[in-house]
Amino acid sequence: MSPIGDDMRAEAAEERIVRRLVDAAKAGDRDAMHQLYQRFSPHVHAYVERIVANRDDADDVTQQTFAKLLTELRRYEPGNAPFAAWMLRVSHNAAIDHLRRREAVRWEAVPAGLEQVDDAPLECRASLREALDSLTTGQRDVLLLRHVVGLTPEEIAACLGRSLRSVYCLHHRGRAAACSALDELGFAPATVGRAVPT
């Protein structure tokens, strides 16, 4: 038996366990909900921490995600994508909502002397978002799961319900397209081999 075949069988078995837990949690089984929390909270926390860029906020968003899950879980319908992918989508939305609430502070409420802020990080973040928006959904999902969440290609394949080869292709094309988009926006990553103008 090949290791890849064994891995695929193990992933399918894991997904069956998760779907049984989801069904039980939908029926009101608190222990099943607790088991879902134990299985998915580390990945959710790692994912949202990259979005909100603050560990305390990530703790809050992770808790909000699982609180939201109590009402949102009934909407989940098993399809081609595994539960983990749906879970990350819910956590993404919770993190974005958190950022919107935090940025909703009125400008007049900012203390005097803080008006002069370095816009470079904001411009860099906006350019990165624009570059990511220019990618296909598959490319964007693979890049975020690989470089933000820190999943391995094998984990990404299982999470997205794709083949390992597909994940590698999406990663390669997505990185190339993102670098190209960032270059056009004037925010290309610095590389060792780039010539310095004199």
Q: Where are the alpha helices (DSSP H) in the chain?
A: 3-26, 30-52, 55-72, 83-103, 120-133, 137-143, 153-160, 164-184
Domain span holding position 165: 120-189
Question: pLDDT by residue (tens digit) across 39-73?
Answer: 888 989 988 888 887 888 889 888 888 888 877 78
| pTM of the complete model beyond 0.75 | no
Q: What is the CA radius of gyration of the chain?
A: 20
Residues 65 and 150 in one domain: no
Residues 4 and 42 in one domain: yes
Residues 1 and 98 in one domain: yes
Mean per-residue pLDDT for 27-45? 88
Residue 38 domain-assigned (yes or no): yes
Residue 108 domain-assigned (yes or no): no
Of the candidates 68, 74, 79, 11, the one whose C-alpha atom is nearest the C-alpha of residue 37 is: 68
Give the CATH number for residue 144: 1.10.10.10
151 and 84 Cβ atoms separated by less than 8 Å: no
Rounded CA separation 180/186 (Å): 10
What value, to the nearest 5°, has the Cα angle with vertex 189 and ends 97 and 100? Answer: 10
State how many domains the chain has.
2
Residues 70 and 3 in one domain: yes
Per-residue pLDDT band at 196 (split at 50, 70, 90): very low
Residue 54 domain-assigned (yes or no): yes
Percentage of the chain with pLDDT > 70?
A: 76
Largest pairwise CA distance in the chain: 68
Last residue of a domain, one of 103, 129, 145: 103
Residues 85 and 125 in one domain: no
Residues 53 and 150 in one domain: no
Give the CATH number for residue 95: 1.10.1740.10
Position 173 scores a pLDDT of 93
Position 171 scores a pLDDT of 92
Q: How many Å separate Cα 26 from the centre of its chain?
A: 24
Residues 18 and 98 in one domain: yes
